[in-house]
Structure 1
Amino acid sequence: MIKKILVGLIGLGVIVLAAFLVIAWKPSIDSVDPPSEGEFSQEQIDRGEIIAGLGNCQTCHTTDQEQPYAGGLAMPTPFGTIYSTNITPDPETGIGQWSEEAFSRAMREGVSRSGAHLFPAFPYTHFTKMTDGDVADLYAYMMTREPIQAEAPENTLEFPFNIRLLQAGWKILFFDEGRYQADSSKSDTWNRGAYIAEGLGHCSACHTPRNQFGAEDESQAWEGTVINNWYAPALNGSNRSPVAWSEDDAYAYLRSGGSPHHGVAVGSMADVVHAGLGLAPDDDIRGLATWLAGLNPSDGADLAAQQAAEAINAASNKRTPSSLMGEGERIFAYACASCHYNDPDSPNALRPDMALNSAVFAPDPVNLIRVTLEGVSLEEGIPGAMMPAFGEALTDREVASLLAFLRSSQTDQPAWSDLEEQVRNQRQQ
């Protein structure tokens, strides 16, 4: 009887393995000659450039700004490091021999021209929502870039995560292939924003925590998480900032890089706003703003202004008499307040009041630590405005004291723990 059971289990295992291999195996797609000059219209190429921006393609596929899209960017994961690939039309190291069919399959199914499964660090789980027209336009744009011969470093994923065939199992569990389906109960503007945010822009790839298998945890959608050593804040009602996103605030932030009621775009988000969305038409930005405001509905600009004034006034009332100032408050008064004090009735996006800044309300202090140490460059935030770096002027203890003061005086949130150690770690990085 035991022997029969073992034989049965082995036979079942063989059947399951055979079925998996049938599902996992993908054929290669024949190579093609690189498209000739003039094969695509300029209008199509221009549309493709906008789509590439909405997908933030250049940021992930570029290490040297003089060699855009040549790949090689290291993306650390809990399973090892993945390097972005060369997506220029170089026939040897890039995608110059890829047909539009092969390109479309990679974008929307996560399978390369050779038939190998792509790792989900490439967000095909979102790009699957793209329309045929957008894929074709993006293909036209990529195939008309300057071919660059550059081989990406080998990935350093741990076994068994380095076995591409196993990605087919991951897809069975976590990948829903299919195009974007419009919500008939929403406006065209909202649907355009949702298509960009959920598809092209793959916003939840940064703003949603991931499970132990590296997939987005749908039970915590839009709850915010740390990624690339920046905190991508919650975009839904769990965001603790005192002012909810209105459409006008969201539009100003995504179009210019700053909002008077939330702060400025830095780090990875600065790349999204300035490098990614810079060429997008206003209709696309307005659509994104409408969609974003809908994740945590507010009563519009009037309520936002009221909430902002109340938050600034509440923080002002917490300030102690000058003779009782602690170290953090003294540093703020001498180094920060001249720029970051706002009139409650007219907050300034160029120099946001800290009682409104989302980084001060975040559950993780990494953004505030990094901005304090590194400053905000002229290319980040709102172009033309900058903040000096205080990394050399302040010690770890002084930065920690400053941030502890801001957390206690500007918010009603619990204190951050081990601030000095966190500052030290960020400084070392």
Structure 2
Amino acid sequence: MNRRGLWIGAAAIIAAGLAAAAAIMYRPPIAPIAPPSPDSFDAQLKREGARVVALGDCIVCHTVKGGRPFAGGLPLATPFGTIYATNITPDPQTGIGAWSEAAFARAVRHGISRDGHLLYPAFPYVHFTRMSDRDVAAAYAYLMSREPVQASAPANELIFPLNFRPPVAFWNLLFLRTGLREADASQDAQWNRGKLLVDGLGHCASCHSPLNAIGGEKAGRAFDGGVVDGWEAPPLNAPGSAAKPWTKTQLVAYLRTGRASEHGAAAGPMLPVTRDLATVPVEDVEAIATYILSLQKRAPSEATPAVHVAAREATPAEQRGAVLFSASCAQCHGPGSPMQTIGERPTLAFSTAVNSGTPRNAVQMILNGIDWNGADAMNYMPAFTSVYDDRQIADLVAYVRDAYSTRPAWPDAEPLVAQLRKEDSAR
């Protein structure tokens, strides 16, 4: 073949590749509609939609702190930059008011906006694709019945080339598997309901799985644990660092109230999830707990026992931390404190954060605390980010680990404190 023939062949291959890429990336827009009246939806369907939206944690991601519900604007930190959640109220200009149910379903199941542009997978359509037609219709009815809010999300701040959407099409080829999943006939209805919620609407693996270099969940590593907004999302498939094995009763209580008497309190990204789950029927949460407990790679009785550390003299950091703990923490967490004797709150010896392999969550808890949530004062903890410096928080963490865990000491946490404080302030 002569040189001209080679050039023609190469051009043909390139043209075919570009045509294939265009076919993968292009999705036609769906015509806008006039916003439907909330009264046009069946009342029962809207009630079901409230349940679906709560199970999907939609308000958690689509509401900025201090903002109107579902009006978007929340910054979602990713390894590739910041994505801002969009407005999903029925405002026709800045929200989804002009979206038909077909456009909404395509976005939920395929990650494609009404106008045809590809959505970033920070929106967990790879899991929502498993939603039933009824659940999609119910969520649409509920959201389209909310108060319209005119609010545009800030522009995303992503690195090149991910600030352009076409690469998402190739990401979808790797990670998006559309459609419902068949029930497992060998399991009962509660287990299958739990699997549907955990793998689908609840999208638990999105947080509780490690991600690969391009932001997809690592193959074969579902529920092995991850990091979200600077917090450790512990593995759901192993006993891990729990000082006591989780029971179904304890897990249901934790998921519905944000606390469990033998494990501690929810904080960070998990706390608003528990507040959503408190609004759904208890049978949904029981199904979730049943399925999560079935994921265990080993039975709790086979969990790796805690490594008991021989008695030793406290380090200078632990000694300094003991003084700080006595001044700021003992009133609630010390032996005989009213929170434990009257409020029946667990000792820190049961805390997953204190017994974890990393001090990340212990540091984050001290830095950020738990926000006040109306009448639920028992889950409140003040933030100490402006009270103590990096060294003092590292000392506190060192003391708590030594005093309340039988596991080996953590390495000096001061560099981690500085890192997390910087990351938290940027959110």
Q: Which residue of 2 aligns with 1:290?
A: 290
Cα deviation code 1:142-196 (max 9, x no counterpart): 1111111111112222332122222211111111111132222222111111111
- Is contact 1:223–1:238 with CA below 8 Å preserved after alignment? no
Over 3 Å counting, the alpha-carbon distance change for 1:377 and 1:36 in structure 2 is: closer
Letter in 2 for 1:326: Q
Letter in 2 for 1:19: A
Over 3 Å counting, the alpha-carbon distance change for 1:388 and 1:151 in structure 2 is: closer
Q: Which residue of 2 aligns with 1:235?
A: 236
Q: Which residue of 2 aligns with 1:31?
A: 32
Report the count of equivalent residues: 417
- Does residue 375 (structure 1) correspond to residue 376 (structure 2)? The answer is no
* 1:412 CA displacement: 5.2
* 1:271 CA displacement: 0.6
Deviates more, 1:54-63 or 1:402-411: 402-411
Letter in 1 for 2:333: H
- Is contact 2:38–2:144 with CA below 8 Å preserved after alignment? no
- Does residue 402 (structure 1) correspond to residue 403 (structure 2)? The answer is no
- Aligned residue runs from structure 1 range 90-109, under 5 A: 90-109=91-110
Over 3 Å counting, the alpha-carbon distance change for 1:72 and 1:398 in structure 2 is: closer
- Aligned residue runs from structure 1 range 212-231, under 5 A: 212-231=213-232
Over 3 Å counting, the alpha-carbon distance change for 1:167 and 1:424 in structure 2 is: closer
Distance in 2, matches of 1:392 and 1:196, equals 39
Question: Aligned Cα RMSD in Å?
Answer: 3.2
Over 3 Å counting, the alpha-carbon distance change for 1:290 and 1:330 in structure 2 is: same
* 1:395 CA displacement: 4.1
Q: Which residue of 2 aligns with 1:421?
A: 415
* 1:52 CA displacement: 0.8
- Does residue 357 (structure 1) correspond to residue 351 (structure 2)? The answer is yes
Deviates more, 1:326-335 or 1:107-116: 326-335
Q: Which residue of 1 aligns with 2:319?
A: 326
Cα deviation code 1:278-334 (max 9, x no counterpart): 21101001001111111227768xx79xx9xx979x68x95869xxx8333444456
Please list every run of 5 or more consecutive structure 2 residues that lacks an aligned counterpart in the other structure: none
Over 3 Å counting, the alpha-carbon distance change for 1:377 and 1:351 in structure 2 is: farther
**Per the alignment, in what secondary structure is the counterpart of residue 355 of structure 1?**
helix
Deviates more, 1:406-415 or 1:107-116: 406-415
Give the TM-score normalised by the residue count of structure 1: 0.87
Distance in 1, matches of 2:261 and 2:234, equals 17
Distance in 2, matches of 1:143 and 1:398, equals 49
Cα deviation code 1:60-113 (max 9, x no counterpart): 111254521111111222222211111111111111111111100000011111
Over 3 Å counting, the alpha-carbon distance change for 1:282 and 1:418 in structure 2 is: same
* 1:340 CA displacement: 3.4
Distance in 2, matches of 1:27 and 1:156, equals 26
Letter in 1 for 2:283: D
Q: Which residue of 2 aligns with 1:89?
A: 90
Distance in 1, matches of 2:389 and 2:67, equals 36
Distance in 2, matches of 1:415 and 1:9, equals 61
- Is contact 1:257–1:381 with CA below 8 Å preserved after alignment? no
* 1:374 CA displacement: 3.2
Over 3 Å counting, the alpha-carbon distance change for 1:160 and 1:384 in structure 2 is: same
Q: Which residue of 2 aligns with 1:193?
A: 194
* 1:398 CA displacement: 2.8
**Per the alignment, in what secondary structure is the counterpart of residue 272 of structure 1?**
helix
Distance in 1, matches of 2:47 and 2:77, equals 32
Over 3 Å counting, the alpha-carbon distance change for 1:19 and 1:394 in structure 2 is: closer
Deviates more, 1:191-200 or 1:69-78: 69-78
Identity of aligned residues (%): 41
- Is contact 1:100–1:139 with CA below 8 Å preserved after alignment? yes
Q: Which residue of 1 aligns with 2:140?
A: 139
- Is contact 1:31–1:99 with CA below 8 Å preserved after alignment? yes
Letter in 2 for 1:111: I
Distance in 1, matches of 2:23 and 2:383, equals 56
Q: Which residue of 2 aligns with 1:267?
A: 268
Deviates more, 1:106-115 or 1:413-422: 413-422
- Aligned residue runs from structure 1 range 64-83, under 5 A: 65=66, 67-83=68-84
- Is contact 2:63–2:73 with CA below 8 Å preserved after alignment? yes
- Aligned residue runs from structure 1 range 289-308, under 5 A: 289-296=289-296
Give the TM-score normalised by the residue count of structure 2: 0.87
- Is contact 1:258–1:382 with CA below 8 Å preserved after alignment? no
- Is contact 2:398–2:412 with CA below 8 Å preserved after alignment? no
- Does residue 148 (structure 1) correspond to residue 163 (structure 2)? The answer is no
* 1:391 CA displacement: 4.2
Letter in 1 for 2:69: P
**Per the alignment, in what secondary structure is the counterpart of residue 140 of structure 2?**
helix
- Does residue 340 (structure 1) correspond to residue 364 (structure 2)? The answer is no
Cα deviation code 1:246-283 (max 9, x no counterpart): 21121110011111232111111111001x21211010
- Is contact 1:71–1:84 with CA below 8 Å preserved after alignment? yes
Over 3 Å counting, the alpha-carbon distance change for 1:361 and 1:380 in structure 2 is: farther
Distance in 2, matches of 1:172 and 1:32, equals 30
**Per the alignment, in what secondary structure is the counterpart of residue 37 of structure 2?**
coil
* 1:7 CA displacement: 3.3
- Is contact 1:61–1:73 with CA below 8 Å preserved after alignment? yes
